[in-house]
Structure 1
Amino acid sequence: MQKLIVSLLAVLAGLLVHAQKVTGKVTDQLGQILPYSSIQVKGSGIGATANAQGIFQLRLTPGQYTITCQYVGYQQQEKTITLGNEDLELHFQLPQQQLTLNEVIVKKGEDAAYEIIRQAIKKRPVYRDELKQFTAQVYTKGQFRLRDFPKKFMGQKVDFEDGDSSKRKMLYLSETVAKYSVQLPGKSKVDVIATKVSGQSDGFGLSAPRIFSLYENLLTMGSGIAPRGIISPISDNALHYYKYKYEGSFMEDGRMVNHIQVIPKRKYEPLFQGYINIVEDEWRIHSLELIGVKEYGLQTFDTLRLQQLYVPTGSGPWVLRSQVMYPTIKVFGFDGFGSFANVYSDYNLNPAFPKGYFDNTILRYQDSSNKKPEDYWSQTRPVSLEPDEVADYQKKDSLERLHNSPAYLDSIDRVRNKLSWQSLILTGQTFTRQKNRSSIFVAPLIGTFSYNTVEGYVVNARATYTRQLDTLSISRRSFSISPEVRYGFSNKHVNPNVALNYRFGHKRFRTIGIAGGSDVFQFNNENPVSEFINTISSLWDNINRLKLYEARFAQFSYAQGLEDGFVWNLSGQYQDRLPLENSSNYVLRDVKDRGFTPNYPEPFTDSNITRHQALILSTSIRWQPGTKYVEFPGRRFSVGSKYPVFVLGFTQALKGPMGADVQYSKWNLGVNHSINLKLGGRMLYQVQIGGFLNKDSLQSPDYIHFKGSATRFTESYAGRFQLVTPYYFSNASKFYTAVFFEHHFNGLLTNKIPIIRKLKWNLVTGANALYYAPGRTYLEPFVGLENILRVFRFDFIVGLEDNGRVRHDFRLGLSSSLFGRR
C-alpha cells in the first residue's frame, strides 16, 4: 500500500510541473532573418533549430538557464533566463562575426589561408575516423516550393488540384524523426520513429540523415545531382583545385576560429565555392557555407547550398549539430526552391550494437510511424513550423478528405480522362476510376500502327486494365489483364491474345502471369528490332530487318524475391509455330538497286521454318551480393548494392508432349556491373557466357541470338553490337562469350575543351567483343559524345572480324548505359 501511495504522489508531482515554452526569433542587427539558427541550452543536450523564418521554440521546466544561439558567419550569443510558470519570449539579434586580421607567419607571397588549409588536410583522416561509432536522433524537415510555373506543360494544363491559382506553391512538405546509427567502416542504419507528409495521411516522409562530410576526399551526392561527386576543400588534392583567401578570425568559447573563403581555380570541375571556418590549433571544421552551381559540376539543380554547424561534446570529439541543403532549379518554365534541414541530437558516442544489428535493411519505417498524433509532433519537433507550413498541413489535410469523397473522385476522373493529342499519339491514354482504384491504359497510336513487309500495314490494338487490390498506397497487390488484337492489311491475318498478371507479397514480392492466343514473334523472342524504326527503314530506305513467324501459344511465368538479393524466375511456353512470307513491297521512296530481303533471319540460314511445335521450360536465379533494402510496414524494396548482378539461367525444350518437335538444353550466365569511379566517371560492363548442352532438334527461333543494329539510329546500347545486322552472329555453339564495356567520363577530359565543356557534352568510349567458335571472333571499339541536347549520343564505331573484314560507321541514339536508357 505504501508503494502505491508513493507512486501516486510521484505521478501527481510530475503533473504539477509543467514544461513552459520559450519562443523567439533570430535575426541579424538589421532585422534580417537568420534561418535554421542553432539554439542550445548550455550544459545540456536540450536544443532547437530555428525555422526558415528564424522562429524557434524550446520546452523547459521552471528554472534558470543559459541559452546560446549560433549561425554560420555570425557571433555566438548567450542569454541567461529565469523561467517561471509562464511562457517566455526570447529574441536574438546576432552581429556579424567581427573578423580580426591576426599576425600570422606566412610564406612569401602566399595568403595565410593556405597554411591553415594544409594543417586541416593533415588532420582530415583523424577527424574522418574520430567517431568510430555513434547513434543520434535526427529530425528532418524537407520542403520544396514553386515561385512560378507555366500554364501548360507538353500541351497539358498544369493543375495542382488545390483550388489555388497563385504561382507560389508548396509542392512538398514532410517531417521525420529517426534514430541514425553508424559504425565504421561503412555501416549505417536509419530507424524511422515518426514521419508525416502534408496531404498524405498514409505517406512516408523523407528520411536522409546522412552526413555530407568534408572530411571525405569526395562528397558523393548521387548521379542525378553531381555525377562525379564534389571535391572537398580539404581533400588531399584540394590545393590543385581550389584557391583560398584568409579573411580573418573570431573568438568563440575561448577558441580562435579562422574564416576562409573557398574559390574554385577552374570552371567545369566538380567544386564548391563559399566559406569554411577552421578552429586554430585543432584544425577541425567549425562550420561552413558552401555552394555548388552548374558551372562547377551540378547536373539537376541550378544551385545547391550546404550549411553545416559542428559543436564540441565536452569529451573531445565534435559532432554535427545541423545540416541544411538549399536546392534551386529552373526547368521548362518551372521555378522551384527548397530546404532540407537535418537537426542532430541525443548523440551516444559509445553505443553497444547487438550482433547482427547492421543487416541488409538500411532504412526501416516502424509500424504506425506515420500515425503519430499532433501532440507528439508539437512536443518533439526541434524546428518550429512556419505559418505557411501550418496552413499547408491544414489545407492539404482538408483537401485529402475532400479528394477521397466519391463525388470528388468522379470529378477528378472526368478531368483526367479527357483525351489529348499527346496521349493519343505519343504516350498512351490512361482512364482512371479512383473509387475502385482501377485504370485502363490504351496504347498510343505511334505503337498501334506500323508497317512491315510480312503483314503490310498493321494495326496492333492493345489495352491494359489494372486494379489495385489494397487501399494502402505502398501495397503491391494488384491484378491486370491485357487484351491485344493484331491485324495485317496485306496478309489479312488476325492475331488475338490476352495476358493476365497478378502481383502480391508483403516483404517479398511475387508475380504470377499467364498468357495465350495467337501472335507474331520475332525469330529472336527478345525483340531486337523496334517496329517503329523498322517502319521508317522499310518505307524510306527499303531495309526490312524485322523477321517474323506466327504462333498459337500459351505461356506462364512466376517470379519471387528471396532473401539476400536473390530473385527466382520460372517460365514455360508452348508455341505452334507457322512460317510467314513477305506479302508487301510497298515503299514511300524507292532506293535504286536495293530490294527487300526474304522473311527469314539471314545470314545464318537461307530458308524459312516449316510448321512445328515447341514446348520450352526456363528457370533462372538472379543474385546481387550485398543487396540493401528499404522496409515499410508490410513491404520491402531492394535498392541494389555496389556489387555485380549475376544471372544464371537454364532452358530445356521437351520433345514429344503436345506434339513438340524441338529438343535441346542450353545454359547462360550473365554478369552486369556499374562501377562509380567518382572523379573518373562511371564504368559499366556486361559479360555473357553460355551455350548448348545438347541440340538434338533445333529451329531458327531456338538458336543463340545476339542483338544487332538495324539502322544508323540505334535503339539501345545495352548488350548490342552496333555494326552488324540483328542475326549476323546467331549460332548453335557449345560455348560463347560476349563482353560489352563502356566508360562514361561524365565531364572528365571534355571539361578541358572550351566549346564542348560549354555545351556539356561528355566523352564515352568502350568496346564490344564476341567469341563463339574457333575462327569466329569479333571486336567493336567505339568512341563518342553523349548528353547532346541532354538526351542524344553520337558514336564512331569500328568493327573487326577475324577474317580481316573491317567496318566503320556512326550511330546516333539516346544517351544510355549498358542496362537501359537513362
Structure 2
Amino acid sequence: MKTLFTQILNKTAVLLLVLLSSAAALHAQTVVRGVVTDAKTKQPMSYVTVTFAGTTQGSGTNGQGRYAISTTDNTVTQIKVSFVGYRTAVRNITTGQDQTINIALTEDNHSLNEVVVRSGKKKKYTNKNNPAVELIRQVIAHKAQNQVENYNYAEYKQYERMNFSLSNLSDKFRNKRIFKNYQFLFREQDSTAIGGKTLLPMYQEEKTSDNYFRKAPYAKKQIITANKQVKYDENFVDNQGLTAYFNRMYQDINIYDNNVSLLSNQLLSPISNSSPEFYKFFITDTLKDVQPNLIELSFTPRNTNNLLFEGKIYITMDGNYAVQNALLTVNKNINLNFVRQMQAALSFEKNNDGRYHLSQSDLKIEFGINKNKGGGVYGERLVTINNFVINNARTDDTYKGDSQVIALNAEDKDDTYWQMTRPDTLDAASASIYKNIDSLQTIPSFKKTMDIATLVLAGYKNYGAFEVGPANTFYSFNPVEGFRVRLGGRTTPQLSKRYYFETYGAYGAKDEKFKYFLSSTYSLNNKSIYSFPQNYIRASFQHDTKIPGQELQFVQESNFLLSFKRGANDIWLYNDILRFDYVHEFTNHLSYSLGFKKWDQTPAGALLYQSLLPNGVINNVNLIQTTELSAQIRWAPHEKFYQGKLYRTPIPDKYPIFTLNYTQGVKGLFGGDYNYQNVVGNISKRFYLSQLGFTDVTTEGGYLFGSVPFPLLDIHHANQTYAFQLQSYNLMNFQEFVSDHYASIAIDHNFNGFLFNRIPLLKKLKLREIIDFKGLWGGVRSENNPQNNNSLLQFPGSLNAGGAGTYALGSTPYVEGSIGVGNIFKLLRVDFVRRFTYLDHPGAPEYGIRFFVKFDF
C-alpha cells in the first residue's frame, strides 16, 4: 500500500510540475531593451517609437536613445522601430526572454516627384481658431497637476554627470608641438555631432543622490551619497569654485516653470502661461502606435532674437495633457552670447497614479567666441531619475536641516560602486578622464602653462607655499603718493590648510612714506578661507592710505586702473588699522561675524580736520582715534559663488540677501575718543521679469546714535573713476555727503534686448538696453551738525571757500540716473549718467559717461 501511495504521489508531483511549467511558459514575460542610433553619425536618437510588431504595445527612446519594452503576449515575434525621415526597422525577438537588441536606423532617401503649390497669398499665422494653440492652452491648464510639487510627498534617486571639453579642434591645433605629450587626452567623434570631430576633455563630475520632497510644510532635500570629480592642483584651480560655476551654467531645466534658467539668463518656457503670445505652435505629427497616443507639437519664436526656445514637445492624449518628451534648442539669432549650439532633451515617465515625472534630462551646449568657426568649449549635463515613489511620508528628521547635504563618505566610493550605479556605460574617453587629468598634471610643460595662466588671469605668481601678487597692484599713482609701487603676496594651502598669511609693502615717491599690511588667518574648519562655508579668525594691521567714501566691489584699492579719476582727487587719509575678526558661515547660508577695530586716521592731501576754538581761532586736528566692537548677521538663502583665488563673488539670483550690521564705539578703550552706536540694514534681490529682463534692487538704511565728528558719520559711497559702479553714486564726489541717518535705494534694470530686438540694426548687433536709478535720503541731526557745535570738526569747505566741500543732505534727496547700452562687443556696458539734485555744489558734474566691463551670456 505504501509503495502504491508513493507512486501516485510522485506521478501527481510530476504532473503538477508539467502544468506549472506550461503555465509559466504561457505567461513568461518577453523583455527587449537596447539603444537606437543613427547609422551614419553613430549618435543615439531620442523619441524613436519602438513597438512589438502587430500591437500597440511599445514606448519611445529616451534622451540617450535607450528603450525598454515588455509583454506577456507569447505570440509576438518581432519589434518594429520607426522614426520620421528614417527607414522602419524590424527585428526578430525570442519570446519569453530578456534580450538586448541595438538598432541603427538609416535615413529614408526616397526622392519625391516635384510638387508645386501656388498660393495667391501666404496665410498669416494667428492664435485664433488654431488647434495647436488650443492644445497648448490645455497643457497650460493642466500644468499644476503634472508637477512634482502637486504631490504631498515624493522621493527618488538621481544620477548626474557633467563633462566639459575643448571643442571643434582642428588637426593643425592637435598636432601643435605644445600638445605632443598630450595626445592621449584627445577624443574623436562624428563631425556632425555637437562639438565637432575632435574634443579635448578637461573636466568631469559624477554624483548620486537621494532626494526628498514634502508639500506642507514645504521642504526639498538632497543627500549626495557619492561624488567623483576631476581635481586640479589647488595652487592653480579652485575645484569647489569650478563646480559651483558649472552648476550655475547648467541648471536643472523644468519645462513646467514659466521661465527656465539657462546660463544666468531666463528663457520663456514653451508651456508658460504667456507662451502663445511669444511662440508660434504647429501640430506636426500624431503618434498612435504608442501608449498613450502622443501629439508632436513644434514651436518657434515669433522674434528669433528674444530669449526663447524652439523645438518639439510630445503631449499625451490620455486626459493629462502632460509632456512626455521635449526637445529644446535655440535659434542661431538669439540674443545669447557665445552659444553656438544648444540642445536639451527631456523625458518623462508615467507614475502609478497615471501622471508623469521627469526621468531624464540631457543638456548639451557648445560655446565659442566666434559662433561659426574656431575652437570652443563643449559641455554636457546628464541627469537620470529612478525609483520614483509618491506619497510615502518620511519622518520629520528626513526633511529637516540644510537643503543639500553631502554624506561623509561621498568621495570614498570605488570604481565598482560607480560601475554598478551608473545607468549607462561610460565611453572610453569619459571613463579615462580621471586618470588622464592626473597624468596630465605630472607633465612639467603643463605645470608651466598653468603657472603662466594663473599669473595672467588671477594675478598671482606661484612659488609653492607662497604666491606673489596681485600683479595689477604693483604700480599705481595718485596726487598724494605720486608714483606708488607695491609688492605683496600670500601663503597657499601647500604651506598649511589652516594657517594663512598675507602681506604687502608699498612706497610713494611723492610723500616718501612706506606703507604695509600684515594679516594672519586661522581656518577653524580646515578649509580654504575663501571657500564656503567660511569659519575663521583673523588678525591684521594696516598702515596705508585710503579715500574716504570710496567703496570698491571686488577690486584692490591699489589697482592701476583706479589711478584714473575725474575732478579733484586730493582728499585722502593715512590710516593705522588694527583688526580682529571672527567669521562663521553655516551651510544654510546664515552667517555671523564679530569684530574689533582700533583705527587711527590722519588727514592727507587737501583734507583738513579743523574745529573752532571759543575765541574763534581755527584749530587743526591731526589725529582721530576710535575703538569699535562690531557684529554682523547675514542671511543669503541658496547663495552660490563665482570662486576666485583672491575673492568670491556672489552669483545674482532670485533669492534676497539680508544683512544687519551693528557697531559700538567705546570711549577710553585703547585710546578711543568717542562713544556711539551705528546700525545699518541692507536688503538686495534680483527680480526676473521674463521677457522684460531682470531688475536688481538694493535698499539700505542706517542710523547713528551719539555725537561724533563728521569723519565718523556715514560717508556715502562716491565714485570718481570712469568705471560704472552699481553700489556707488557715480556722479557724487568723494566725501561730498555725510549723514547720521539715511535710507537709499538702487534699481538697475536690464531689458536683455527686449526693445532693441525690434530695431533691425540693433537687433543684428545684439545690444541690450539698461536703465539705472539711485536715490538717497538722509540728514544730520543738530547734535552732529558743526553749525550748532563749534567743538565738532567743521565740514570741509565751510571754512575755506572755493574748494569741494562736505554737506549734509537736506529735505531734497540725492538722485542720479542713467541710460545704458550693454553687450557691446559682448563685454562692454556704456552708461550716460545724469545727476538731478545738488548741482550747485562746487565741482558737481551734471552729466558723465561711465564704462563697465562684464562677461555675460
Could you tell me whether the CA contact under 8 Å between 2:533 and 2:586 is conserved in 1?
A: yes
Residue 737 of structure 2: which of 729, 740, 748 is its match? 729
Point out the structure with the larger strand share.
1
TM-score normalised by length of structure 2: 0.72
Q: Deviations over 1:41-100 (max 9, x none)?
A: 99xxxx998896x68999xxxx9999989898688989754688xx965233568999xx
Q: Deviations over 1:732-768 (max 9, x none)?
A: x3x2222222222222323222222322222222321
C-alpha separation between the residues in 1 aligned to 2:847 and 2:775? 17
Alignment correspondent of 1:780: 816
Residue 776 of structure 2: which of 761, 770, 780 is its match? 770
Alignment correspondent of 1:649: 661
State yes or no: 1:522 paired with 2:553. Answer: no
Offset of 1:488 from its aligned partner?
A: 1.7
Q: Deviations over 1:334-380 (max 9, x none)?
A: 32334322222211122213225334523333222232222223333
In structure 2, what residue type is equivalent to 1:498?
Answer: L
Unaligned residue ranges in structure 1 (runs of 5+): 1-20, 99-105, 471-476, 582-597, 631-636
Alignment correspondent of 1:716: 725
In structure 2, what residue type is equivalent to 1:454?
Answer: V
C-alpha separation between the residues in 1 aligned to 2:680 and 2:588? 22
Pairwise mapping of residues 13-28 of structure 1 onto structure 2 (< 5 A)? 25-27=35-37
In structure 2, what residue type is equivalent to 1:175?
Answer: E
Could you tell me whether the CA contact under 8 Å between 1:530 and 1:715 is conserved in 2?
A: no
Pairwise mapping of residues 132-147 of structure 1 onto structure 2 (< 5 A)? 132-147=152-167
Alignment correspondent of 2:467: 440
Pairwise mapping of residues 685-704 of structure 1 onto structure 2 (< 5 A)? 685-696=697-708, 698=709, 701-704=711-714
* Residues 758 and 808 (structure 1), Cα distance of their counterparts in 2 relative to 1, 3 Å cut: farther
Offset of 1:705 from its aligned partner?
A: 0.6
Alignment correspondent of 2:479: 453
* Residues 607 and 180 (structure 1), Cα distance of their counterparts in 2 relative to 1, 3 Å cut: farther
Alignment correspondent of 2:202: 171
Alignment correspondent of 1:473: none
C-alpha separation between the residues in 2 aligned to 1:108 and 1:483? 66
- Judge which range, 22-31 or 63-72, deviates more: 63-72
C-alpha separation between the residues in 2 aligned to 1:641 and 1:31? 39
State yes or no: 1:536 paired with 2:547. Answer: no
Alignment correspondent of 1:305: 343
Could you tell me whether the CA contact under 8 Å between 1:668 and 1:690 is conserved in 2?
A: yes
In structure 2, what residue type is equivalent to 1:221?
Answer: S
Could you tell me whether the CA contact under 8 Å between 1:716 and 1:816 is conserved in 2?
A: no
Unaligned residue ranges in structure 2 (runs of 5+): 1-30, 53-58, 110-124, 187-197, 527-531, 611-616, 642-648, 780-809
State yes or no: 1:794 paired with 2:830. Answer: yes
Offset of 1:505 from its aligned partner?
A: 1.9
C-alpha separation between the residues in 1 aligned to 2:34 and 2:699? 62
State yes or no: 1:188 paired with 2:192. Answer: no
C-alpha separation between the residues in 1 aligned to 2:558 and 2:412? 48
* Residues 96 and 254 (structure 1), Cα distance of their counterparts in 2 relative to 1, 3 Å cut: farther
In structure 2, what residue type is equivalent to 1:269?
Answer: N
* Residues 161 and 690 (structure 1), Cα distance of their counterparts in 2 relative to 1, 3 Å cut: farther
C-alpha separation between the residues in 2 aligned to 1:565 and 1:626? 6
Could you tell me whether the CA contact under 8 Å between 1:455 and 1:490 is conserved in 2?
A: yes
Residue 520 of structure 2: which of 500, 511, 526 is its match? 500
Could you tell me whether the CA contact under 8 Å between 2:153 and 2:393 is conserved in 1?
A: no
Residue 269 of structure 1: which of 299, 303, 306 is its match? 306
* Residues 340 and 284 (structure 1), Cα distance of their counterparts in 2 relative to 1, 3 Å cut: same
Alignment correspondent of 2:511: 491
Please state whether the residue corresponding to 2:813 is helix, strand or coil.
Answer: strand
C-alpha separation between the residues in 1 aligned to 2:583 and 2:140? 51
* Residues 143 and 130 (structure 1), Cα distance of their counterparts in 2 relative to 1, 3 Å cut: same
State yes or no: 1:624 paired with 2:635. Answer: yes
Alignment correspondent of 2:139: 120
Offset of 1:440 from its aligned partner?
A: 0.9
C-alpha separation between the residues in 1 aligned to 2:725 and 2:126? 56
Alignment correspondent of 2:695: 683
Offset of 1:324 from its aligned partner?
A: 1.6
Q: Deviations over 1:96-141 (max 9, x none)?
A: 999xxxxxxx999966534433433333333246545422222223
State yes or no: 1:571 paired with 2:595. Answer: yes
Could you tell me whether the CA contact under 8 Å between 2:50 and 2:82 is conserved in 1?
A: no
C-alpha separation between the residues in 1 aligned to 2:563 and 2:700? 30
In structure 1, what residue type is equivalent to 2:225?
Answer: I
Alignment correspondent of 2:10: none
Alignment correspondent of 1:221: 261
TM-score normalised by length of structure 1: 0.75
C-alpha separation between the residues in 1 aligned to 2:89 and 2:213? 30
Alignment correspondent of 2:852: 814
Could you tell me whether the CA contact under 8 Å between 1:565 and 1:624 is conserved in 2?
A: yes
C-alpha separation between the residues in 1 aligned to 2:679 and 2:687? 27
Could you tell me whether the CA contact under 8 Å between 2:839 and 2:846 is conserved in 1?
A: no
Offset of 1:147 from its aligned partner?
A: 3.0
C-alpha separation between the residues in 2 aligned to 1:642 and 1:482? 35
Offset of 1:812 from its aligned partner?
A: 1.6
Could you tell me whether the CA contact under 8 Å between 2:49 and 2:290 is conserved in 1?
A: no
Offset of 1:489 from its aligned partner?
A: 1.6
Residue 677 of structure 2: which of 649, 660, 665 is its match? 665
In structure 1, what residue type is equivalent to 2:717?
Answer: K
* Residues 701 and 525 (structure 1), Cα distance of their counterparts in 2 relative to 1, 3 Å cut: farther
In structure 1, what residue type is equivalent to 2:469?
Answer: V
C-alpha separation between the residues in 1 aligned to 2:361 and 2:79? 18
Residue 604 of structure 2: which of 580, 585, 589 is its match? 580
Could you tell me whether the CA contact under 8 Å between 2:578 and 2:597 is conserved in 1?
A: yes
Alignment correspondent of 2:421: 380
Offset of 1:607 from its aligned partner?
A: 8.9
In structure 2, what residue type is equivalent to 1:119?
Answer: Q
In structure 2, what residue type is equivalent to 1:614?
Answer: Q
Pairwise mapping of residues 739-754 of structure 1 onto structure 2 (< 5 A)? 739-754=745-760
C-alpha separation between the residues in 2 aligned to 1:577 and 1:499? 19
* Residues 356 and 779 (structure 1), Cα distance of their counterparts in 2 relative to 1, 3 Å cut: farther
Residue 325 of structure 1: which of 363, 369, 381 is its match? 363
Q: Between the two proteins, what is the percent identity of the paired residues?
A: 18
Offset of 1:517 from its aligned partner?
A: 5.5
Offset of 1:490 from its aligned partner?
A: 2.1
C-alpha separation between the residues in 1 aligned to 2:127 and 2:445? 75
Offset of 1:706 from its aligned partner?
A: 0.9
Could you tell me whether the CA contact under 8 Å between 1:39 and 1:50 is conserved in 2?
A: no
C-alpha separation between the residues in 2 aligned to 1:163 and 1:756? 44
* Residues 33 and 683 (structure 1), Cα distance of their counterparts in 2 relative to 1, 3 Å cut: closer
* Residues 68 and 785 (structure 1), Cα distance of their counterparts in 2 relative to 1, 3 Å cut: farther
In structure 1, what residue type is equivalent to 2:736?
Answer: Y
Offset of 1:271 from its aligned partner?
A: 1.8
In structure 2, what residue type is equivalent to 1:648?
Answer: L
State yes or no: 1:339 paired with 2:380. Answer: yes
* Residues 536 and 376 (structure 1), Cα distance of their counterparts in 2 relative to 1, 3 Å cut: closer
C-alpha separation between the residues in 1 aligned to 2:437 and 2:127? 67
Please state whether the residue corresponding to 1:302 is helix, strand or coil.
Answer: strand
Could you tell me whether the CA contact under 8 Å between 1:150 and 1:158 is conserved in 2?
A: no
Q: Deviations over 1:238-276 (max 9, x none)?
A: 222222333332223454322232122222222222222
Alignment correspondent of 2:115: none
C-alpha separation between the residues in 2 aligned to 1:143 and 1:305? 15
